[in-house]
């Protein structure tokens, strides 16, 4: 199935699975190039069978395999972020796992017909402690990843821009600011607060705190 999808230009991902390391390697070598939500809803790492997590350091792959990691401060422990980054920094892709309640504040919300309760940065299925996606923004994930992994701001930003573009095979247009690329970008401060957002070179958002040469 993976081979058929790849031949039809579908980017395939593995994850949310109990696959062992052999099955995971077979999936990648068949054409899969991404791991969904590393560490979450998959077989835990074991020294005899590291499962999908083992893809990060496998030497039996015929292609590069990026991995998505939810750096919201809840889905993935800081130690797990460090392990992933130090094992394979160049393949990391930051994921928010954000759902419809992002930005709406505390209270009861819905994902389709599913009731969700949001408290602070945590979203759970109402009446349980089961995480129901996330309500954090990408700049928060960048800051969390930088602080918890020990990487630089440039490295963290690459995980939210350059690496996803490489995965999606559109790095010639997106993910960097280079000649010929699309002028979609944000301006942030040293604390990763968004000061301004540009789409196609046009400013579509500007923080009250932003004063710059685009005025």
Catalytic residue set: 97
Burial class from Cβ neighbours inside 10 Å (0-12, 13-18, 19+) for residue 186 reads middle
The CA distance from 92 to 96, in Å, is: 13
CB 196, CB 214: distance < 8 Å: yes
**DSSP conformation class of 136:** -
CA-closest candidate to residue 160, choices 198, 134, 186: 186
Q: Where are the beta strands (DSSP E) in the chain?
A: 13-15, 34-36, 66-70, 92-95, 107-111, 114-119, 122-125, 185-188, 194-199, 202-206
Q: Which two tokens stand for residue 74?
A: 């809840």
């Amino acid at each position: 199935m993976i081979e058929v999808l790849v031949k039809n230009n579908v980017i395939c991902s593995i994850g949310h699975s109990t696959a062992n390391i052999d099955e995971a390697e077979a999936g990648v070598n068949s054409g899969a190039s991404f791991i969904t939500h590393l560490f979450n809803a998959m077989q835990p790492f074991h020294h005899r069978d590291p499962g999908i997590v083992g893809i990060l350091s496998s030497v039996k792959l015929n292609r590069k395999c990026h991995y998505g990691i939810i750096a919201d401060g809840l889905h993935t422990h800081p130690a797990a972020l460090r392990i992933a980054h130090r094992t394979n920094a160049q393949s990391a892709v930051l994921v928010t796992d954000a759902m419809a309640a992002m930005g709406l504040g505390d209270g009861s919300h819905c994902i389709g017909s599913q009731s969700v309760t949001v408290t602070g940065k945590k979203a759970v299925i109402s009446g349980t402690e089961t995480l129901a996606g996330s309500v954090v923004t990408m700049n928060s994930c960048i800051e969390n990843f930088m602080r918890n992994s020990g990487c630089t701001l440039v490295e963290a930003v690459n995980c939210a821009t350059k690496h996803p573009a490489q995965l999606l095979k559109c790095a010639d247009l997106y993910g960097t600011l280079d000649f010929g690329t699309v002028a979609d970008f944000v301006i942030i401060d040293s604390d990763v607060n968004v000061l301004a957002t540009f789409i196609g070179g046009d400013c579509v958002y500007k923080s009250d705190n932003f004063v710059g040469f685009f005025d």
